[in-house]
Amino acid sequence: MINPFRLPEEQERIPDPAILVIFGVTGDLARRKLMPALYNLARENLLPARFAVVGFARSDWDDQKLRSEMRKAVEVFSRTPLIGPVWEDFAQHLYYFKSHYDDVEGFRRLATCLQELDAQYNIPGNRLHYVATPPVVFESIIRNLGIAGLNQPASPEGWVRIVIEKPFGTDLESAKRLNARVNEVFHEEQVFRIDHYLGKETVQNLLAFRFANSIYEPLWNQKYIDHVQITVAESVGVEARAGFYDQTGALRDMVQNHMMQLLSLMAMEPPVALEADAVRDEKVKVLRAIKRLTPPDVPKVVVRGQYGPGAINGQPVPGYRQEPGVAPNSTTETYVAMKLEIDNWRWAGVPFYLRTGKRLPKKISEIAVYFRSPPQLLFEGQLEHGFTTNVLAIQIQPNEGISLTFNAKIPGSEMRIRPVVMDFRYGSSFGMSTPEAYERLLLDAWQGDATLFIRADEVEESWRLLTPVLETWAQMPPPDFPNYPAGTWGPSEADVLLALDGRRWRRL
């Protein structure tokens, strides 16, 4: 029965009744992100009336404990204040299931539990599994879901999907192995690999900016663009993630996923439709077209760094090796800068410079597109200090927005030229607050829209590119760590990387 109170275009955005199973519900991700996101979806009436959330973990909790712990988490981490009666109504849908991730019998009992909830809530067997655990148990969970039959819908009209958090492997081989394990149990269209960067409004706006405007696309190629800089800078250190981060490093933590996603969205061809596979096909093409790095290339085009003691916002901060939980001789990189080239008609000869790091002076993520200089500099004698080529900067966080730098005449009788900025800020044009990335992505997965999720071949292509870097680094431990003080823009080698091409990093 179609709901007459919805217009036809609204019908498809109604999530089906379903059970969400969160593996690792006692962990940080569930407390900080998933449960606040679910609460806000419920608060905004975006969840279906018939749903249940089953939290799966090893701790000795029960339904009441889960509800009280999650209430505390929502009170602290939700973007909106908790409303008592709404929480109470939402919390009635929360259930706890205790088991070990490698216990097959536990998963069989889970299947029975879900069937009982299906009956209780009149849910037609729809399941959304969310793997929010450390990666070490990914494979056990996936295997046991298969053995317990939880990879199949519980009814002919039902569906089953699985959301997997990064990291998707630690190199090409491990990513292939994980994908193979996942695809032994689930069809690829059931799998939603989440990169929360794709849930950010400005990242989605990249598609709108490029393909809803006709003025940029003709310029979006090697004929007019000189180079591109992608920066994901953090001012924080490793915080409570030292154990994870020291095994991971900046390349795996940021470049392989977030930065490759930004690069592919920025450089992709127009998709034939705004559909999951059409968009992802184009992203994969970009990743495939990136010039492969060989071991001799790596030292020439990739710079790694690690922060030493320094200061952020005037406050002294320790170096990476002095952080709690980090080995005093750690060689883990906290900074990466690299130069990539995309070998296709659109981008041949246009370098893409990427940089990311911890303990940099400020938190900022942006894509800066540097246009070529005019073919003839008519005003060369009139240029004021600071003259620049046109730069289109797409800022992802904070202060989401887009700015265009162009050169203008300074008023007066003389012809003097100086760069000025034309600015669009989301906050100043659309003042409304936007949902957290996890809210958008959870809802998309619930509704089966995979556009903002990563496909297996994207993961593998990205690792195929970066694994030679990891292998080369493994052969050549860094001699000079730490090589940048906290609170600076990274090691001087990163500046040299651009200076060799006659360029420099954008001042942020």
Partner 1 sequence: MSQPSSPFLVQEPRPIPPDEVATELAHLWQEMTASLGGLMLRARALTFVAFTADPDRRGELQEMLVAVSQDHPSRAILLVAREGEEPELETWASIQCLRPPDGEENPAICTEQVIIEATPSALDRVTSLVLALTVPDIPVVVWWVGDPTPRQSPFEALFQLADLFILDATSFRAPFRSIRHEARLKARGGRRTVVTDLAWHFLAEWREHVAQLFDAPEWAAHLPDVRRVRVEFSSPPNTNLIVAPAFFMAGWIASRLKWQPVSAHPLRGQATYELSFEAMSGPATVNIRPVKAATHGPGELITVELETRDPVPLHFRLSRVDRTQCIDVIVEQDMTTLFHHVAAWQSLTLPEHLTRVILYTRRDRAFAETLRTLAPLAEELAEPGESSS
Nearer to partner 1, 4 or 156 (CB): 4
**Residue 325, SS3?**
coil
Residue 14: both structure tokens together: 């109604």
Can residue 85 be called a binding residue for partner 1 (CB under 8 A)?
A: yes
Each as own residue / partner, the long-range contacts of residues 137-140 (CB below 8 Å, 24 or more positions apart, any chain) are: 137/23, 137/101, 137/102, 138/164, 138/178, 138/181, 139/178, 139/181, 140/101, 140/102
258 part of the active site: yes
In angstroms, the CA 409 to CA 251 distance is 43
Residue 390: both structure tokens together: 């046109």
Can residue 503 be called a binding residue for partner 1 (CB under 8 A)?
A: no
Which one-letter DSSP state was computed for residue 121? H
Instruction: Using the rule CB under 8 A, give the single segment among 5-13, 218-226, 237-245, 470-478 that binds partner 1.
Output: 5-13
Q: Pick from 12, 28, 44, 62 the residue near partner 1 by CB under 8 A.
A: 44
In angstroms, the CA 483 to CA 496 distance is 14
Nearer to partner 1, 45 or 294 (CB): 45
Instruction: Using the rule CB under 8 A, give the single segment among 28-36, 383-391, 428-436, 478-486 that binds partner 1.
Output: 428-436
Number of separate helices (H) and strands (E) present in the chain: 17, 18
Q: Pick from 49, 119, 136, 378 the residue near partner 1 by CB under 8 A.
A: 49
Whats the size of the chain, residue-wise?
A: 508
Q: Pick from 156, 429, 477, 507 the residue near partner 1 by CB under 8 A.
A: 429
Can residue 75 be called a binding residue for partner 1 (CB under 8 A)?
A: no
Q: Pick from 14, 274, 348, 408 the residue near partner 1 by CB under 8 A.
A: 14
Instruction: Using the rule CB under 8 A, give the single segment among 44-52, 179-187, 296-304, 374-382 that binds partner 1.
Output: 44-52
Can residue 2 be called a binding residue for partner 1 (CB under 8 A)?
A: yes
Can residue 432 be called a binding residue for partner 1 (CB under 8 A)?
A: yes
Of 369-398, which residues contact partner 1 (CB under 8 A)? 398
**Residue 490, SS3?**
coil
Angle at 37 between CA 32 and CA 43, to 5 degrees: 130
Q: State which H helix or E strand residue 389 sits in.
A: none
Size of the site for partner 1 (CB under 8 A): 38
Are the C-beta atoms of residues 340 and 267 closer than 8 Å to each other? Answer: no
Residue 193: both structure tokens together: 């690999």
Q: Which of 93, 196, 227, 258 is catalytic?
A: 258
Write the DSSP string, 423-473: EEEHHHH--S----HHHHHHHHHHHT--TTSB-HHHHHHHHHHHHHHHHHH
Q: Pick from 139, 281, 297, 423 the residue near partner 1 by CB under 8 A.
A: 423
Can residue 173 be called a binding residue for partner 1 (CB under 8 A)?
A: no
Angle at 78 between CA 28 and CA 206, to 5 degrees: 90
Q: Pick from 195, 234, 323, 400 the residue near partner 1 by CB under 8 A.
A: 400
Can residue 434 be called a binding residue for partner 1 (CB under 8 A)?
A: yes
Can residue 427 be called a binding residue for partner 1 (CB under 8 A)?
A: yes
Can residue 1 be called a binding residue for partner 1 (CB under 8 A)?
A: yes
Can residue 50 be called a binding residue for partner 1 (CB under 8 A)?
A: yes
Can residue 10 be called a binding residue for partner 1 (CB under 8 A)?
A: yes
Which residues are near partner 1 by CB under 8 A?
1-7, 10, 14, 17, 42-45, 48-50, 83, 85-86, 88-89, 122, 201, 398-400, 423, 425-434
Among all residues, which ones are annotated catalytic?
A: 258
